[in-house]
């Protein structure tokens, strides 16, 4: 019920606390509690019951006229006070979730791009090598398309930080409750992602026991595949969590002080997963070659590339 009350506070945040508004809020709260109690009595799980109640009573645009509500605004735009509404928050989180999935898919495609060439090496014919090369370029092209589309999705939300939008007490509690609800999944995805990156060496070791070119190539392909899924989970997890962090930082006096932005939206999205990609590349090369004594140089090269990109594309911290 605490989640429902937080959601209710967030819904009414845009309205002046007049007697009519307070009365309407109490009436709506009673209806939501009755529905929740009814669902729980029927055996509906708590999270599912909350979701049903919010979906049924959670749109004030449909209920405002029946409840006799008027926005606390002097014109037709209730958002001139730069306060995010529950509807905007839900929409932002939904877009952020889609964005996180698209970025994760793009990173996975980049990591999986050599798999076709590795498998083609088993047959070692002109046709197989051509197919392997085509698969590599198709994966890279699809990954770039994902990054471009992702920048388009999130571009419309730039106004939140640029125009100084904030959360009121009710909406902040609502976001905090959502963030707490995601905490367990956040930890689980992180653990699974890291475990996959560590265990990626197992398939090549097993395949190496057969002492065959076929199995060696399959082992290499499986290594890239396991790493791709591991890094994909980590990238998705980090970008999904970023949505809550972004919302909760809006009220901070120095929100995002340590966050680096780039002038080009595409570069900004790519650099948001730069170090995760470097880590994945480092692990793949190290496990594949077993030359740990020299692969550490990848990090030096990565730092240099990062520095050059910042200088060229204007990487800068928020003020």
Residue 114: Cβ within 10 Å count: 17
CA distances (Å), 311 to each of 250, 265, 300, 316, in order?
Answer: 27, 15, 17, 9
* pLDDT at residue 142 greater than cutoff 60: yes
**Per-residue pLDDT tens for 232-251?**
998 899 889 988 888 888 77
- Dmax (CA) for the chain in angstroms is 81
At 98 the pLDDT is 93
* Helix, strand, coil fractions of the chain, as percent rounded to 5: 75, 0, 20
Q: For residue 78, what pLDDT is reported?
A: 40
Q: Which residue has the tokens 């932005």?
A: 261
pLDDT at residue number 290: 63
Comparison of pLDDT for 104 and 71, the residue scoring more: 104
* Low-confidence winner among 10-19, 59-68, 74-83 (lowest mean pLDDT): 74-83
Max mean pLDDT range (102-111, 114-123, 306-315): 102-111
Share of the chain above pLDDT 90, in %: 7
Phi first, then psi, for residue 191 (nearest 5°) are: -65, -45
Least confident of 198-212, 236-250, 285-299, 300-314: 285-299
């Amino acid at each position: 019920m605490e989640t429902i009350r937080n959601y209710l506070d967030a819904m009414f945040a845009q309205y002046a606390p007049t007697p009519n508004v307070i009365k309407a809020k109490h009436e709506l709260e009673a209806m939501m509690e009755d529905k929740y109690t009814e669902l729980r009595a029927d055996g509906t799980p708590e999270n599912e019951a909350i979701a049903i109640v919010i979906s049924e009573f959670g749109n004030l645009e449909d209920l405002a006229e029946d409840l006799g509500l008027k926005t606390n605004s002097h014109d037709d735009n209730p958002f001139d006070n730069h306060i995010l509404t529950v509807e905007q928050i839900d929409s932002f989180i939904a877009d952020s979730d889609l964005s996180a999935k698209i970025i994760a898919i793009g990173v996975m495609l980049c990591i999986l791009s050599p798999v076709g060439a590795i498998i083609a090496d088993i047959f070692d014919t002109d046709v197989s090598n051509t197919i392997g090369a085509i698969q590599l370029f198709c994966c890279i092209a699809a990954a770039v398309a994902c990054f471009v589309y992702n920048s388009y999705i999130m571009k419309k939300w730039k106004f939140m930080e640029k125009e100084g939008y904030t959360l009121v007490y009710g909406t902040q509690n609502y976001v905090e409750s959502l963030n707490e609800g995601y905490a367990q999944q956040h930890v689980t995805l992180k653990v699974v992602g890291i475990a996959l990156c560590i265990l990626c060496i197992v398939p090549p070791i097993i395949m190496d026991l057969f002492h065959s070119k076929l199995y060696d190539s399959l082992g290499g392909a499986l290594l890239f595949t396991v790493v791709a899924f591991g890094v994909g989970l980590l990238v998705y997890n980090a970008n999904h969590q970023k949505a809550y962090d972004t919302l909760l930082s809006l009220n901070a006096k120095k929100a995002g002080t340590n966050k680096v932005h780039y002038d080009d939206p595409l570069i900004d999205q790519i650099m948001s997963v730069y170090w995760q990609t470097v880590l994945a590349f480092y692990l793949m090369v190290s496990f594949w070659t077993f030359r740990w004594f020299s692969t550490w140089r990848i990090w030096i090269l990565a730092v240099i590339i990062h520095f050059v990109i910042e200088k060229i594309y204007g990487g800068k911290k928020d003020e």
